[in-house]
Structure 1
């Protein structure tokens, strides 16, 4: 049985995207390796805050049917550079249990193991659902602070929490809660400001994300606010130089209890759209490393929406904040033009392995820290969510407003994006482009002819 300190997968714990069925051998091996990671490794592999992705990687491989030997090999490749997680000798746990002292350890990576034990104890006593409602979704000052940190570090805490909930692993949820506490809160400050601004405007004119992406690109102050030299292009570019302009657009994307399902589908579709369409012909097809995280986190929102313990108001808020951050992320790479033809005209590099089974199998054997296979799984999820929403919309006669402008990616485009993911990382050069809206991001990549140019 899975507990706050023990990882235990079964052949039924394979997540929401199905490919090949799993075996008891793979369940046991993946559980063993995740337990080793849980017991021994820090959630950051260095003191600069670079994330340990082992839990994400192994659960994705396991969920998509990878055999035990593949999962173990991928683990070995990424375990050798992880840091040990060491509990401090101070009386930290006692302090953390006192609400007056809780916050003094936040944003300090040396206390990861202390936080992990703290959250394990809380989950053991109260259950993980109650712990999340008490600490993260309470709507009080402490809750809003932790909720803001959930979106920090390019969404890594949210991704980690999503994996824990999706795969029914309280120990992974404890890791996620500890990770939340290690991040700073400037992202949360921006999201709360966007929320406050949106409420003050009290606008009933909700636009779709694709509409807002076009408007952001047309706003020259906002679309050029980030500089190549910025250490963090959202914080030091968008927020520092164009916060008022950014808030103008975030306030125009509105989630309500009534449109939660539709807006979830729109968010998933839209971040995949701008991540795939932000190409720079004639350069090689590459995916932006930062946009990718918007996609990799999008997969968990149907799971969040399905949780009976989470209030509708908090589901709405989770999604609303994700949309705010997606819009800011698009602007932060200098709002590149979105070329839908780069998707529709794409020709897979390996036509005989171009279906989802072939894509996933190739990614089982791809050597990285899991970003690529997470991205492909999230794209496949986008296809499943999009198909389900389109079918529902057709049944109630909402062809245009519900399915049209807010859903740019449709039909065969999903498989083409899946192939763009695997082909681009298997191609020459770095696996990912970084900050695609800047010319500097593309310097190292080769020029290639496009289908439309032949």
Structure 2
């Protein structure tokens, strides 16, 4: 293993071996698997910056390792992940990997921590600072102090904004560290946030949080009033809110942002950031929604899980033969998993902190959707008509699970019996994803697996829009098909779509197949 340079005052700490996921969703991994993963994580921690080029593209190696570990990838796979990263992204000679020397090192302290924000060269100093803070005070207190306190929220820090900017990579990064109990990865994520630009401040105007979250409970907020994903305690559901966003002609593709815009995100923020923020004031939380109990925060996280599933599984028009999934919408989807992971792993997190993270992800999801051309959701004709059991297509023309079914039913030629003998296609999907070299696919399938483990028993009719004056107009523009026709099979169907569009086979030299075109624009499908 490469060690940190002795000529640098920055000596990254030894990483903890990953613990079982706070989500507890799969059978788990052995100590041997965790140790193999740690070897790769430590090399990356010691020697590589969180950006791998001067454009600020993100080093995903830690994400890939944790996602593969959670899905059960074997011991032999982690060196392959390392080789894949070196082949495709990581360059040991990249200048930002060079740590500061004693002559040019400016340590980050509590007194000066806001002075080097948005500077990629300050990463190693921020890493050392956050490693020390977490070691002394723990993850929850460090997160509250340096992301969610008034000092951290306000200018020039804007740390909540930074955590969810950069295509949500800082939040995803700390999410992995928190989920698996590896404090050094949390420190990496906080350092990444510190050097990420705060571009989406218009989504968080002064006083925004007081408008969407009441500090004290009222009789109407009683936990005896059980909310659902479609009927929250107060305010609009995310389904209804997206219908209203869809009815706002000022947020339409071609208005909020144009196909020709080089950065559709910057264009959307300039034209519509304040409008999106105004709409998002209707998505509310109460103290009862953010108590330390999945029964409290679960419905709000579930709203985000459903909407982000639709962003991947329902946005290809039925007229199109080839399925496309948007690269940036995939990131809001992948980030949603970590709300549950963080809330479960950090019971000491304050209710206010949980509420802020919920609202930040909801706003980022809505803004990203609009920046990508506000694609409509083809619920009936695309999502629900997707193959229900996406089995792995074996090279010999017979699904592996079909062979299992044939063997299980060998005493009978009854086709119905063979069908009943088939295992769930989730086993094929997870097995293939666990050793895939598209790290985004590994992460996305794992998220769908978690959503399914939690929400797959949702029956038709459970999801619906609230009655309001814009429901019909927004429903016609956004929800192509009845929301009530969707059930819990949506998660496996979406995972199957991704396996087909990204290909089932692991390929060390893989080329990314997520589309960079903004799929809400007609031009993306020509």
Q: TM-score, normalised by structure 1?
A: 0.85
1:28: which partner in 2? 35
Equivalent runs, 1:36-47 vs 2, <5 Å: 36-47=43-54
1:413: which partner in 2? 490
The answer on 1:357 being equivalent to 2:364 is: no
- Superposed displacement of residue 196, structure 1: 2.2
2:143: which partner in 1? 132
The answer on 1:149 being equivalent to 2:180 is: no
1:372: which partner in 2? 441
Task: Name the stretch that deviates more: 337-346 or 280-289.
Answer: 280-289
Where 2:177 maps in the other structure, the secondary structure is helix
The answer on 1:263 being equivalent to 2:300 is: yes
1:278 to 315, 340, 345: 315
Task: Name the stretch that deviates more: 278-287 or 149-158.
Answer: 278-287
2:108 to 96, 119, 133: 96
- Superposed displacement of residue 191, structure 1: 3.2
Please give the alpha-carbon distance, in whole angstroms, between the structure 2 residues aligned to 1:68 and 1:137. 38
- Superposed displacement of residue 239, structure 1: 1.8
- Superposed displacement of residue 415, structure 1: 1.1
Please give the alpha-carbon distance, in whole angstroms, between the structure 2 residues aligned to 1:299 and 1:181. 22
Q: Deviations over 1:91-124 (max 9, x none)?
A: 776552152x322211111121121112222222
Please give the alpha-carbon distance, in whole angstroms, between the structure 2 residues aligned to 1:200 and 1:9. 39
Task: Name the stretch that deviates more: 101-110 or 58-67.
Answer: 101-110
Please give the alpha-carbon distance, in whole angstroms, between the structure 2 residues aligned to 1:201 and 1:243. 20
- Superposed displacement of residue 333, structure 1: 1.4
Richer in helix (by share) = 1
- Superposed displacement of residue 90, structure 1: 6.7
Equivalent runs, 1:149-168 vs 2, <5 Å: 149-168=162-181
- Superposed displacement of residue 179, structure 1: 0.4
Distance verdict in 2 for CA 1:315–1:158, change over 3 Å:
same
- Superposed displacement of residue 303, structure 1: 2.3
Please give the alpha-carbon distance, in whole angstroms, between the structure 1 residues aligned to 2:498 and 2:193. 29
Where 2:429 maps in the other structure, the secondary structure is helix
- Superposed displacement of residue 221, structure 1: 1.8
Where 1:154 maps in the other structure, the secondary structure is coil
Q: TM-score, normalised by structure 2?
A: 0.74
1:449: which partner in 2? none
Task: Name the stretch that deviates more: 433-442 or 374-383.
Answer: 433-442
Please give the alpha-carbon distance, in whole angstroms, between the structure 1 residues aligned to 2:265 and 2:351. 29
2:350: which partner in 1? 311
Equivalent runs, 1:108-119 vs 2, <5 Å: 108-119=119-130
Distance verdict in 2 for CA 1:197–1:28, change over 3 Å:
closer
* Conserved 8 A contact 2:234-2:285: no
Distance verdict in 2 for CA 1:386–1:115, change over 3 Å:
same
1:448: which partner in 2? none
Please give the alpha-carbon distance, in whole angstroms, between the structure 2 residues aligned to 1:357 and 1:410. 20
Give structure 1 regions of 4+ aligned residues with deviation exceeding 3 angstroms: 17-21, 89-95, 141-144, 348-354, 402-409, 427-430
1:254 to 278, 281, 284: 284
Please give the alpha-carbon distance, in whole angstroms, between the structure 2 residues aligned to 1:94 and 1:274. 43
When the two chains are superposed, the root-mean-square deviation of aligned CA atoms in Å is 3.0
The answer on 1:215 being equivalent to 2:244 is: yes
2:68 to 52, 61, 78: 61
| Residue ranges of structure 2 left out of the alignment (5+ in a row) | 1-10, 215-232, 290-296, 394-398, 402-423, 467-482, 505-509
- The aligned length equals 426
Distance verdict in 2 for CA 1:118–1:83, change over 3 Å:
farther
